[in-house]
Structure 1
Amino acid sequence: MLDVCLLGTGGMMPLPYRWLTSMLLRYNGSSLLVDCGEGTQIAVKEKGWSFKPIDVICFTHYHADHISGLPGLLLTMGNAERSEPLTMVGPKGLEKVVGALRMIAPELPFEIKYMELKNPQEDFEINGYHIHAFRVNHNITCYGYSIEIKRAGRFHVEWAKEKDIPQKFWSLLQHGQVIEYEGNYYTPDMVLGKPRKGIKVTYCTDTRPTENLKNAAKNSDLLICEGMYAEPEKLAKAKQYKHMTFYEAAETARDAKVGELWLTHFSPSLVHGESYMPKVQKIFARASLGFDGRSVELDFEEEKP
């Protein structure tokens, strides 16, 4: 099961009813944060979740509304006597940017590991998360993230018995390990069926619509995507500043065949966003407005007998 919480939905500046952008995922005792805008700490507290399990932070880009909450978060984590390493992922320049922000949080009791993204697309595994980072189209280098919980195929006891595989290795094979024992090699494909559908969440803000985004979001259970502007007359402004409208986000969700769309990263000028949703839902019926603290539990699909 993957817990997803949209902590903040604001763009550019925090408002009394809207923190700046961030999302928190929880899986198997680990938490992954995407972006850390101003107010992220308060949003986590309001949700009743914990900072301690956060061991991965991914940044889309380094505009202030996406990273300005980081120094305070690091101080809080340090004051909680955290000792486990913290991995940070982001575009090139990550270590330099974080180093500058840490001028006000210079002493921390834990190590920070940096993974700087340099290619248009990169894939890596951290703590059970399969992360696909993909470059999008903003006015500075910016990435979106698809985060998957992969699911191996069903374990077949009868296959293991037919191949005389010792039972003490079954669990290891089930978890993807290759075993060498008494001159024999045992591989996971000897006991596992075809991979089953996992869980996939795609998060993207600050971009014009791109094929990269559609391809990365394809078949996601949930797409959390920016809808900076709702008013149709603001399309020109969206193009000028490299953002998306509600309707462009809905078209992306439709074309990517996602399960559900949550809109986020709203302009400070946006009020009564719900009044625009009937038109948006004509494009993609399962579109809805994100809001601070909105969360969902995503589980693996039940298998047909």
Structure 2
Amino acid sequence: MIDVCLLGTGGMMPLPYRYLTAMMARYNGKSILIDCGEGTQIAMKQKGWSPKPIDVICFTHFHADHISGLPGMLLTMGNAERTEPLLIIGPKGLEKVVGALRMIAPELPFELRFHELSQPFEQIDMGDYRIEAFRVNHNVICYGYNLIVERAGRFQVEKAKILGLPVQLWNPLQKGNVVEFEGKTYTPDMVMGSPRKGIKVTYCTDTRPTRSIEENAAHADLFICEGMYGEPDKQQKAREHKHMTFYEAANLAKAAEVSQMWLTHYSPSLPWPDQYLPQVTKIFPNAITAKDGQTIELDFEEEN
């Protein structure tokens, strides 16, 4: 199961009722933060979640509304007596940008590790889940992210018994290990069923619609997508500033055949996104205009 929370849904500047961009996910005792706009710490406190167990922070790009909350976040993590290394992922130049921001947070009791993205598509293996980064189309280098938890097939007890494998070897095979027994080699595929459907969360902001988003978001359980503008007369402005309208996001969700879409990253000139939702759901019915603190638990599909 993955817990997902949109800590902030605002773009450009914070408002009294809307913090800047950030999303947090929790899986198997680990936490992932994507973007860290101003107000992220407060939103996290309001949610009752802690910054200490964050394993990785991913940045879509380096505009202030996506990264300005980082120095304070690092200080808070340090004050929580964190000692484990922290991985930070983002576009090329990441270490230099973070180094500059750390001028006001110079001493930390934990190591910062960096993964700078340079390719149109990259995968980062985090052990029991995977992060995928894919290039999108903004006025600076910008990436979207997938969080993917894969699910192995069921262990086939009858196959293991036919092969004569003792019970103590079943668990290593379930975990993907190759085992030796009585001079023979046994691989997981000999006793495991076909892989089952996992969980996929796609997150992208600050971009024009692209084929890359459609392809990488395909069949996501949750598609979190920027909707900078809901007003029908803002289409030209969205093109000029390389952002998206609600309706462009809805068309992407439809094309990618996602299960559900949350709109986020609203313009400060858009105080009431809900008023445009009926037009959005005509394009993609399972869409919401997300609010700060919007949370969901995504679980594996039940099997018959």
Give the TM-score normalised by structure 2: 0.98
Query: Which stretch shows the higher mean deviation, 178-187 or 251-260?
Result: 178-187
- Give the equivalent residue in structure 2 for 1:63: 63
Deviations 1:11-36 (A, max 9, x none): 00111000000100000000000000
Deviations 1:224-249 (A, max 9, x none): 00000001111000000100000000
Deviations 1:73-125 (A, max 9, x none): 00000011101111111111111111111111111111111111110001121
- Give the equivalent residue in structure 1 for 2:212: 212
- Give the equivalent residue in structure 2 for 1:7: 7
AA matched with 1:244? M
- Give the equivalent residue in structure 1 for 2:39: 39
- For the Cα contact (< 8 Å) 1:30–1:127, is it kept in 2? no
AA matched with 1:55? D
- Give the equivalent residue in structure 2 for 1:128: 128
- Give the equivalent residue in structure 2 for 1:110: 110
1:287 counterpart = 2:290 = no
Which 5+ residue runs of structure 1 have no aligned equivalent?
none
Q: d(CA) in 1 for partners of 2:287 and 2:12?
A: 23
Q: d(CA) in 2 for partners of 1:121 and 1:203?
A: 14
Q: d(CA) in 1 for partners of 2:267 and 2:223?
A: 19
Q: d(CA) in 2 for partners of 1:9 and 1:111?
A: 29
Q: d(CA) in 2 for partners of 1:169 and 1:212?
A: 42
Q: d(CA) in 2 for partners of 1:246 and 1:43?
A: 24
> SS state of the match for residue 225, structure 2?
strand
Query: In the TM superposition, what is the alpha-carbon distance from 1:218 to its structure 2 partner?
Result: 0.4
Q: Cα gap change, 1:157/1:277 in structure 2, threshold over 3 Å: closer, same or farther? A: same
> SS state of the match for residue 228, structure 2?
coil
1:96 counterpart = 2:102 = no
AA matched with 2:124? F
Q: d(CA) in 2 for partners of 1:107 and 1:129?
A: 30
> SS state of the match for residue 113, structure 1?
strand
AA matched with 1:171? N
AA matched with 1:115? H
- Give the equivalent residue in structure 2 for 1:80: 80
- Give the equivalent residue in structure 1 for 2:302: 302
Give the percent of matched residue pairs that are identical in Structure 1 and Structure 2. Answer: 66
Q: d(CA) in 1 for partners of 2:264 and 2:40?
A: 15
Q: d(CA) in 1 for partners of 2:165 and 2:175?
A: 15
Which 5+ residue runs of structure 2 have no aligned equivalent?
none
Q: d(CA) in 2 for partners of 1:68 and 1:127?
A: 29
Q: d(CA) in 2 for partners of 1:177 and 1:53?
A: 28
AA matched with 2:78? G
Q: d(CA) in 1 for partners of 2:127 and 2:292?
A: 26
